[in-house]
Structure 1
Amino acid sequence: MIAVDKTHDITLQRLTESLATERSAPLLFLHDGQSLKQGYHVTEVKAGHFSALDCGANPEAWSEIFVQLWDVDDTSDRGPMTAGRFLAIIAKVVDHVRLDGSAQLTFELSDGVAPIAIYCAQSPVLVDGRWQVSLHPRPASCKPRDRWLAGQETAHSTPLAAAAAASACCGARQPACC
């Protein structure tokens, strides 16, 4: 059984706090082994509040912030986006939209031709005077299974543990006792 890697799930607050320490540094987003083009745009920042039922019929609720990146060449001479410019965009959005800094952060990425791909991000790293934020494809997951795995003290799966995980996943919710 494979555990879900949550190291790629940062919050908007964690991202902005990191970038604020070196606002003049260029901000690079990396995906699939390459950097976005120098002229990339932040085309949209949106907040979503979701209510759902998971595969085990458990109610779920969460907030998520989406940052849409358009990976295009820019012919202007303004140079790469800096952390300060990105932070100014976020601040402008905050003036009009309530953003929960602790919400899950999701990046939507397209070059304007290919369909939007969904990514999560690692914390920014300052490398040679430039911020680098690595984007990773966001996989689907099973919330009951993820909760069960998070509660395990050992990373080793046994046949008994696998059976328990299977029953935690997609099974009918247990009725409340008494």
Structure 2
Amino acid sequence: MEVAVPPPAVAEDITLGALLAACDLHPKLPLIFTYEGRPVRPGYHVTEVKAGQFAALDCGGNPEAWPEIFVQLWDVDDGDRTHMLAGKFAAIIRKVSEHVGLDQSAKLTFEVSDGVMPMQLHCAASPIPATDRLEVALAPRAASCKPRDRWLEEQKQAAACCDPRSDKPRC
């Protein structure tokens, strides 16, 4: 029986360093985060940036440890403001890093709220530059079972190894 693997919410889970690199390449473009099928409002604020180092046991009893950066976005209209430029966003993050010491390779999680609805956790895809914006798609961060995820990845790699269309050596 083949196990169905749901598609990930976004193509990847970018790191802080990858987001800053994209902002550095396009500092004068408005940085627009999208979630729930719409862009954040032009007056959005970065209200908090937090760095965490986590240690845990997964549901299989396996130890886990990882760094994670949380960027809190307050999705509001604020007068006649326009979307924040990518360069300004990068400057905010770097200022935090001077005081807190942010790990550029850390997993990046966005906490998003409009000030009325509860905050929701999101992961981010790689930024996509356009002529008039630098867009970052956010998707809800889903719960997962790490032992199951590892097993599914092993199955996928084993199948790719034995796939006759693969350029990898046969099993």
TM-score, scaled relative to structure 1:
0.82
**Match status 1:20 vs 2:32:** no
- Tell me, in whole angstroms, the C-alpha distance in 2 between the residues paired with 1:23 and 1:138: 27
**Which of residues 78, 91, 112 is equivalent to 2:94?**
91
**Match status 1:30 vs 2:7:** no
**Which of residues 77, 100, 107 is equivalent to 2:103?**
100
Mean Cα displacement is larger for which, 41-50 or 1-10? 1-10
- Tell me, in whole angstroms, the C-alpha distance in 2 between the residues paired with 1:62 and 1:45: 17
- Tell me, in whole angstroms, the C-alpha distance in 1 between the residues paired with 2:31 and 2:67: 25
**Match status 1:46 vs 2:46:** no
SS state at 1:7 partner: coil
Contact 1:3 1:146 survives alignment (8 Å): no
Identity %: 57
Instruction: Tell me by how many angstroms 1:3 deviates.
Output: 5.2
Q: Can you give the 5+ residue segments of structure 1 that lack an aligned partner in the other structure?
A: 156-178
- Tell me, in whole angstroms, the C-alpha distance in 1 between the residues paired with 2:90 and 2:27: 8
The CA deviation string for residues 97-146 of structure 1, in whole angstroms up to 9 with x for no partner, is 11111111000000011100010010000123210000011110011111
Superposed CA RMSD in Å reads 1.5
> After the TM superposition, which parts of structure 1 deviate over 3 Å for at least 4 consecutive aligned residues?
none
Contact 1:4 1:141 survives alignment (8 Å): no
Q: Can you give the 5+ residue segments of structure 2 that lack an aligned partner in the other structure?
A: 161-171
- Tell me, in whole angstroms, the C-alpha distance in 2 between the residues paired with 1:46 and 1:20: 21
Query: Which residue of 1 is the match for residue 141 of structure 2?
Result: 138
**What code does the residue aligned with 2:111 have?**
E
Mean Cα displacement is larger for which, 143-152 or 66-75? 143-152
Query: Which residue of 2 is the match for residue 150 of structure 1?
Result: 153
Contact 2:13 2:124 survives alignment (8 Å): yes
The aligned runs of 1:3-18 (5 Å cut-off) are: 5=8, 7-18=11-22
SS state at 2:32 partner: strand
**What code does the residue aligned with 1:37 have?**
R
**What code does the residue aligned with 2:95 have?**
K
Provide the aligned length of Structure 1 versus Structure 2. Answer: 154
Contact 2:50 2:69 survives alignment (8 Å): yes
TM-score, scaled relative to structure 2:
0.85
Query: Which residue of 2 is the match for residue 55 of structure 1?
Result: 59
Instruction: Tell me by how many angstroms 1:35 deviates.
Output: 0.4
**What code does the residue aligned with 1:143 have?**
K
